[in-house]
Structure 1
Amino acid sequence: MSETSATFDYVIIGGGTAGCLLANRLSAEPNHRVLLLEAGKTDSYPWIHIPVGYLYCIGNPRTDWMYHTEPDAGLNNRVQRYPRGRVLGGCSSINGMIYMRGQARDYDAWAKITGDDSWSWQNALADFKAHENHYRLDQGADPITGNNSRFSDMHGSGGEWRVEKQRLSWDVLDSFADAAEQAGIEKIDDFNGGDNAGVGYFDVNQRSGWRWSSSKAFLRPARGRSNLTIWTGSQAQKLSWSTADNGQPRCTGLSLSRAGQTVQVTANREVILSAGAINSPQILQLSGIGPADLLRSHGIEVIRDAPVGENFQDHLQIRAVFKVNGTQTLNTLANSLFGRLKIGAEYLLNRSGPMSMSPSQLGAFTRSDPARPHANLEYHVQPLSLEAFGEDLHDFPAITVSVCNLNPTSRGQVQISSANFQDPPKIMPNYLSTAEDRQVAADSLRQARKIMAQPAMQVYAPEELKPGVQHQSDEELARLAGDIANTIFHPVGTVKMGQMDDPSAVLDPHLRVKGVQGLRVVDASVMPTITSGNTNAPTLMIAEKAAAWIKEGL
């Protein structure tokens, strides 16, 4: 195997959600030579762009790393498929397209954890708006009220990141929203104003019925820049090191595998690791930054003993299924030839209908217990049902009321399985490992039952199929949650940021790896605590903030 080399100012490892934005922002400076590395291929695969195509991208080695978790005690020792985008755009090319920032309290908590007010909600809001292009501000006015002042305070227009309303609705989901309101959950017209408590349809990252990914939003406008180089099919092996004048290790680049060759890349200014909450800790550990005992057990020289791979958090989605009557769901529509033809024609002609839909259309945020100070549950309600993701839809009308604990107290780990960069890491989420998380799981299933028992849903004579009404106790419901729950693909926290004297933090508040020079991490792994909602939009905010710091030399 031959070896080649190349030199740049900035090297970004990972062409996903954060990496594409960083490549755009850093290459906007003509004197910055920027290299963006992506282990996967380009995003030319047709199913990436059709919203329902996530069904053909997840579990497909063309677009997915094909990871699995270790057996998880909280899930009754089940092993889960754990999709991660391996393609330009990363997870934004295969995810559910939901635009969700979380809650103001998430970011105010980050500001306290890091001791840096830059992470507060008011400061983060400016970074969200910087790249946003929200449909409510098209033509300068909200299409519903004709007034844009309320939304312009919270949203941006003219940015690269398109946010649109969904292009379909379902009678049964409208009824669920009515039932949620009858159960005490107020309707909301914007989940992204800092307090997302309420029920309504999700906004999505689409443009005119097509998926809108970070590759489309940020790389396409930058591709013609002579100072931006994009290498696909290029997988990081390990980072390279020298010794700085002050004696600290300095990251000088990396070795990578590309087209059957080992390539040595030098970064004159910084290496920026944006490989995601699973692959970023893997690359750091392979490169000598991680728990010393783990590294030594694989024969890796310890550059810095650090809790890389710890603090792993994820949202676990508990999938309650209810059979319904007297209404259409995707089950009945997609299980007939006429229905499938209708679905195809609607998308072909109008870019609308089920082929334009995200995996979940209706959302609700509420409290698992009235004593809670804020909404700690998120519902993803779907007009369909199946035994498990990737299997056929049921042949009877049904809906799935999926609910997740927004602020789990369980913590897991990501660890390398060997010193070989081609071996997948061990993913150990450790779901439902605390008494609080098990109680929230039981309470959330009871609340789903409460909503389904309201008059607006009783017209459909719902029948609970999972977990089943015969299960009533906390212990039963928590155990059965382990049988019917799945990840909602929101891993964060494995390379935590924090204050300089925080032993649990790998990064400083500006996302620089503590104790070394020339290395920064910018992706969902930096979150000290998981956001109260879907994690794609917060990852873009993190990248926007980091890009400004990098350009300012901070």
Structure 2
Amino acid sequence: MTGVPERTGYDVLVLGGGVAGCVLAARLSEDPDRSVCLVEAGRDYGPRRRDWPAKVLNARALPRDEVWERHAPAHRVRARILGGSSCVNGCWNTWGSAADHEEWARAGGERWTAAAMDRYRRRAAGGIGLRPVPDHEHSAWSRAALAGAAELGYQRVDMAAPGGPGSGTPLLNAVDGLRWNAAFGYLDETVRKRPNLTIVSGATADRLDLVAGRVDGVRILVDGAPVTLAADSYLVACGTFGSPALLLRSGIGPAGQLRDIGVGVRLDLPGVGANLSDQPGVFVPLAPTGQLNAALAAKEAAAELYVSRMLVRAASELCPQDSWDLHILPVAGPPLYGSLPPGQYEAGISAFLMKPHSRGSVRLRSADPEAPPTIDPGFLTDPAGHDLAVLRSGLRIVGRLAASAALRPLVAPLQGSPADSLTDQQLRAGLGTYWHPVGTCAMGPADDPTAVVDGEGRVRGVANLRVADASVLPTVPAANTQFPVLAVAEMLADAVIG
């Protein structure tokens, strides 16, 4: 059921209907004796695909209508719609390395090991309906890029499973150009008919009311009107930017920052909003040849043109053995920004830094829930220069791939210095983002003063409050984050159930 709730005595309130929130609401409401309310700030277009906007359904584009801030820089993009980022991202799903799980297990315990998480990886793949790239969706560009990667010595690997460096294709939450988002995967018509599940859309979570170390209720705004909901337990799944913002508005966070914006301190947790980690990258443009433009035009005419269907997991000289710290991403198709004349396309290769040492932050401008937070990604700020060194290593791989025999007939380098020889200032000026932020409510062991939650998402110092989304990951995985976050939500749902 949907709408403004008439009852407030739920067993569980899930705040945030993004990727993690959809999983949590579906899994927790499987028990008919557990009442669950899911609160989402954005629109809920319902279980029928025909009722959803065409832009949101289009898996070939990155829609930007259902977001908190229109025309914001890429690193600030936040989806505001039931289904969250799965409604606005590239529908790519890859898995991280064994080293990622070792980092997480040190912070959260045995349930975060690769072996323990494997069943949740498989469950997540089935839950959102992941599928391999069909052969007909490969363009001349992606086929040539796979061949070029093989020339460089990269063996084919399964991108949706643990392994090592190599090349391959992601799993997709899309079918024939139709985006299959988390709301479709987890909140279908059957799930929505559960009498113990309430979905409240168009409702912004304002703040949590704390009494004697427990959450006593949550204030939400529905069409600008305040409503208070109450439950036995509360799960925050508002995303890497939204979850710390909600805690901060509730007086949970660094005491000094809270006082600066006039929020009363209820719990001094210095890690809230800190430790922001995202994956920056540099795009190296190339000049498509007539052969490539013609091949892409034919693919577009057949409605089968995707800008990329492959990637390379690569290791820099600073990467631990058997792992990777770079994604090398060749793309060719319509430009993401702007336009080109018919029959002409953009081509290039990006190097993305997958395991950054740099850290940024999320802070509040004010206690207004509609005011955008201050988001500092902190790209390339680590004092030792590790991230710049790894990025340069990736750009050298980009140069080698662009010069491979397989790609030479399709593209030519643009005039100018090689990308890996650019100055630090030039690299910083040309940075983009893979848009995979994590870490702002990071989990950690009991003796870590910066930890916000434990390995089951429980907020330190609050008895009935958990965070269960990408913000709890202390480090970003060497992967696109949607698939790991789905698995994390599956695992944390089991932790709640006990």
Judge same fold: TM > 0.5, yes or no.
yes
Equivalent runs, 1:172-211 vs 2, <5 Å: 172-188=141-157, 190-211=158-179
Alignment partner of 1:411 is 2:380: no
Equivalent runs, 1:59-138 vs 2, <5 Å: 60=65, 63-66=66-69, 80=74, 82-114=76-108, 116-133=109-126
Per-residue CA deviations over 1:89-147 (Å, capped at 9, x if unaligned) read 00011111111121122112211222x111000100111112433xxxxxxxxxxxxxx
User: AA paired with 1:65?
Assistant: W
The match for 1:548 is 494
Equivalent runs, 1:293-312 vs 2, <5 Å: 293-306=256-269, 307-312=271-276
Shift of 1:472: 5.6
Q: Secondary structure at the match of 2:187?
A: helix
**Structure 1 residues 121 and 308, CA, compared in 2 at 3 Å: closer, same or farther?**
same
**Structure 1 residues 330 and 271, CA, compared in 2 at 3 Å: closer, same or farther?**
farther
Alignment partner of 1:489 is 2:439: no
**Structure 1 residues 308 and 81, CA, compared in 2 at 3 Å: closer, same or farther?**
closer
Contact 1:199/1:362 (CA < 8 Å) preserved in 2? Answer: yes
Alignment partner of 1:379 is 2:328: yes
2:493 and 2:420 map into 1 onto residues whose CA distance is 50
The match for 2:48 is none
Contact 2:14/2:39 (CA < 8 Å) preserved in 1? Answer: yes
If the length of structure 1 is used for normalisation, what is the TM-score?
Answer: 0.82
Shift of 1:13: 0.5
Equivalent runs, 1:227-242 vs 2, <5 Å: 227-242=196-211
Shift of 1:31: 1.1
Q: Secondary structure at the match of 2:446?
A: coil
Q: Secondary structure at the match of 2:92?
A: coil
The match for 2:462 is 516
1:302 and 1:331 map into 2 onto residues whose CA distance is 60
Shift of 1:394: 7.1
The match for 1:47 is 55
The match for 2:230 is 266
The match for 1:364 is 312
Alignment partner of 1:219 is 2:219: no
If the length of structure 2 is used for normalisation, what is the TM-score?
Answer: 0.91
Per-residue CA deviations over 1:301-337 (Å, capped at 9, x if unaligned) read 111111100000001121111113242349962xxxx
User: AA paired with 1:49?
Assistant: L
Per-residue CA deviations over 1:313-366 (Å, capped at 9, x if unaligned) read 001121111113242349962xxxxx6xx746x34xxxxx02xx4x53211111
Contact 1:324/1:398 (CA < 8 Å) preserved in 2? Answer: yes
Shift of 1:452: 1.4
User: AA paired with 2:223?
Assistant: A
Which structure 1 residue ranges, 5 or more long, are not aligned? 70-78, 134-158, 244-248, 334-338, 348-352
Identity of aligned residues (%): 29
User: AA paired with 2:104?
Assistant: W
Per-residue CA deviations over 1:359-388 (Å, capped at 9, x if unaligned) read 5321111112287522111022211364xx
Q: Secondary structure at the match of 2:274?
A: coil
Residue number among 428, 436, 439 corresponding to 2:386 in the alignment: 436
Q: Secondary structure at the match of 1:129?
A: helix
Contact 2:393/2:420 (CA < 8 Å) preserved in 1? Answer: no
**Structure 1 residues 471 and 162, CA, compared in 2 at 3 Å: closer, same or farther?**
closer
**Structure 1 residues 509 and 470, CA, compared in 2 at 3 Å: closer, same or farther?**
closer
Alignment partner of 1:316 is 2:277: no
The match for 1:20 is 22
**Structure 1 residues 422 and 217, CA, compared in 2 at 3 Å: closer, same or farther?**
same
Shift of 1:420: 1.2
Contact 1:274/1:280 (CA < 8 Å) preserved in 2? Answer: yes
Q: Secondary structure at the match of 1:455?
A: coil
Contact 2:459/2:465 (CA < 8 Å) preserved in 1? Answer: yes
**Structure 1 residues 208 and 408, CA, compared in 2 at 3 Å: closer, same or farther?**
same
Per-residue CA deviations over 1:419-442 (Å, capped at 9, x if unaligned) read 111111000001011211111122
Per-residue CA deviations over 1:20-47 (Å, capped at 9, x if unaligned) read 0111111111111111011000242222
Shift of 1:443: 1.8
Shift of 1:160: 4.7
Alignment partner of 1:449 is 2:399: yes
The match for 2:348 is 400
**Structure 1 residues 455 and 370, CA, compared in 2 at 3 Å: closer, same or farther?**
farther
Equivalent runs, 1:454-533 vs 2, <5 Å: 454-460=404-410, 462-464=412-414, 468-469=416-417, 473=421, 476-533=422-479
2:145 and 2:460 map into 1 onto residues whose CA distance is 48
Shift of 1:208: 4.5
User: AA paired with 1:377?
Assistant: L
Which structure 2 residue ranges, 5 or more long, are not aligned? 46-51
Per-residue CA deviations over 1:186-208 (Å, capped at 9, x if unaligned) read 223x1122115211222211234
1:294 and 1:370 map into 2 onto residues whose CA distance is 36
2:319 and 2:184 map into 1 onto residues whose CA distance is 44
